[in-house]
Each structure stands twice: as structure tokens, then as C-alpha cells.
Amino acid sequence: MTDHLLGMTGLSKVDIFRYLDVAQAFVEVSERDNKKVPDLRGKTVVNIFFEPSTRTLASFDIAGKRLSADTINVNASSSSMQKGETLLDTVRTIESMNPDVLVIRHSESGAPHFVAKHLTRTAVVNAGDGAHEHPTQALLDLLTIRQHFAAEGRGLEGLRVGFVGDVRHSRVARSNVWAHLALGNKIRLIGPPTLVPADFIKVFGSDDVSVVHNLAEGLQDLDVVVCLRMQLERQDQNFVPNLDEYSKEYCLSERLLMRHAPRSVVLHPGPLNRGTEISGEVADGPRSLVLRQVNNGVAVRMAVLSILAGSVESRTMSLGR
């Protein structure tokens, strides 16, 4: 029976902290002169991305290589899939080459779960599936938040966390909400009714999630603001009538944050649309944790690959070198 990381749904607080603790230990590795540890030497990690990606693919690739794994990047847009092969045949083919971990990104929600159910020897990591989940993003967001509040003597619990923007289509928001619910935090989903439908929270089945359509009101007293990327193609789909108008109402500005959530920090999964969902002043300002998120991303992926490839028991030793 192989372990996978398919989503934050169903992960307990203990599970989450295990990932974060191992990840925190890896943060320091990437700051060394020699950034390589032998943990996954002789292991094979295959990254198969059915959607284009720069940052997530590079992050997994670097994570695998710093662990001394062999990493193989399969560009699935130029792959056999285009020759009519089924997803299952593609991944079974990959599995027959004896990878230890398969990292998959796919535009269809549930694709990694389907794959994991049918593979027998390979750990599967969901690197983003449709509008469904993106668990390593949620973990790196949590690690970033934890580091920030640790400096203030606070933990990851008892926080008020808001998600601003296109919540409806955001796998980042979804994975984060599940995680914050497991940690017992209060969550506010903020955006226009087309992007944050009032009945949307039913899926989470928790009173800890609320919906607010007005940005100023939504920001009130938040500890953490997760600003979501506005996918520009949504405009054509009538979710947003006009980007300029959208920005007037929902672009995160320093002025608004100062007034309503002066002690909050801001996260964004990237890539940024400056001036659309986030002002340059916020993105580059002192409350922005955006680059720290990217930095933690490598550490989180090192942790996930290590844990799933079964090398975590040897961690202390290799970190000690």
C-alpha cells in the first residue's frame, strides 16, 4: 500500500504538521553552499504535467535534484495522449519504468486520484488538478504563515484567513480552506457573487467558513490575506464584466489593508497580475510573503518527495552532514 499526497481534504492536523516539520528542516538545505542531500539517491521522480507550468515544475524539479533523485520531466502536451492514448495507459506506461514518485498536474479535477487508485507501486503527488486541489501550494502557504507568526510568538492556529478573488475556480483556495479547517482557523471568502457564490461554502460543511462580497468588510481584522490570481480568460466567460471595474472593487491596495487589516500579511500563489488583483505596492511591500512562499515551495516539495519515497527516517542523518 503506497502513500500519496492527493489533496488537503482528509489530512489531519498531525499529518499537516508532519509535512511542515520536515519541510522546515529542508529550508536550510537550500541556503547552504552545497544544496544537495543524498536522501533520494538512486530514486526516480517523474513530473508529468498536462498543463503548462513554470514555477511549480521548476520547484519540483529542483526539489528532486537537491535530494539527489533522478528527475524526468514529461511534457504531456507533446505526449502519447495526443496520439489517443488514455490517461491510465500513459501513467501505467510510466509506472512500468519504475519511478518512485509520480508528480502529476492535470486540467481535470480528480485525475491524480484516479491515477493513484490504479497504480500499485508508485506514490502520486497532485501538483494541481483543475479547480480541485493543489496540496503542495497549501502546505507552502502554511509553512510561510507559520514562519511569520512564529516570530510573533503565535502558532498556526487561531488565525483569521481571507481569500480574495476568483475563489470559484481556485484549487489554491480550496486546498488552503481544507487545511485551515483542519487547523481550526476562521476563513472568509471574499469576491463578487459570480466568483464567490453564496452557496459555495456548503461544500466545506463548516460554520468556520463565511462569504463576504465587499472587500473592505471582508478584510476587517484578518491575520492572513491570500490574494488569488485572476485568470484573465474568465472575462470572456462572463464571470467578470470588465477587468478595470473588477480591480476598482477588488484589487488589494495598501490603503485598504492599512485601514482594515493593518497587521495582516499577504500571500499570492503567482504569477501576479499587478494592478488587477494586487497592487504593486502591496506585492513589493513589507507585508508581502510572496517570494518567501516560492522559497518554501522547494522545501515543501523536498519534504513531500522524501516522505512519500520513504526516506524520511534517514533525514536527521543526512541533514547532519
Please report whether residue 292 would count as binding a second copy according to CB under 8 A: yes
Q: Which stretches of 70-159 are assigned E, i.e. beta strand?
A: 70-75, 101-106, 123-129
How does strand 209-212 pair with strand 70-75?
unpaired
Residue with cell 521548476: 58
Task: Report the residue from 10, 42, 153, 320 that binds a second copy according to the rule CB under 8 A.
Answer: 42
Task: Report the residue from 282, 298, 303, 308 that binds a second copy according to the rule CB under 8 A.
Answer: 298
Please report whether residue 96 would count as binding a second copy according to CB under 8 A: yes
Query: Going by C-beta distance under 8 Å and a sequence separation of 6 or more, which residues neighbour residue 57?
Result: 47, 49, 73, 105, 127
What cell was used for 55? 514555477
What cell was used for 75? 511534457
Please report whether residue 272 would count as binding a second copy according to CB under 8 A: yes
Instruction: Tell me how far apart the 2 most distant CA atoms of the chain are, in Å.
Output: 57
Task: Report the residue from 3, 13, 21, 35 that binds a second copy according to the rule CB under 8 A.
Answer: 35
How far apart are alpha carbons 228 and 10 in whole angstroms?
Answer: 23
Please report whether residue 294 would count as binding a second copy according to CB under 8 A: yes
| Contact characters 98-137, a second copy, x per CB under 8 A | x---------------------------------------
Least Å distance between CB 26 and a second copy? 11
- Rounding to the nearest 10 degrees, give the CA dihedral for residues 269, 305, 298, 107: -30
Please report whether residue 55 would count as binding a second copy according to CB under 8 A: yes
Contacts to a second copy by CB under 8 A: 30-36, 41-44, 46, 52, 54-55, 58-59, 61-62, 65-66, 70, 72, 74, 76, 78-80, 82-86, 89-90, 92-98, 232, 270-274, 291-292, 294-295, 297-298
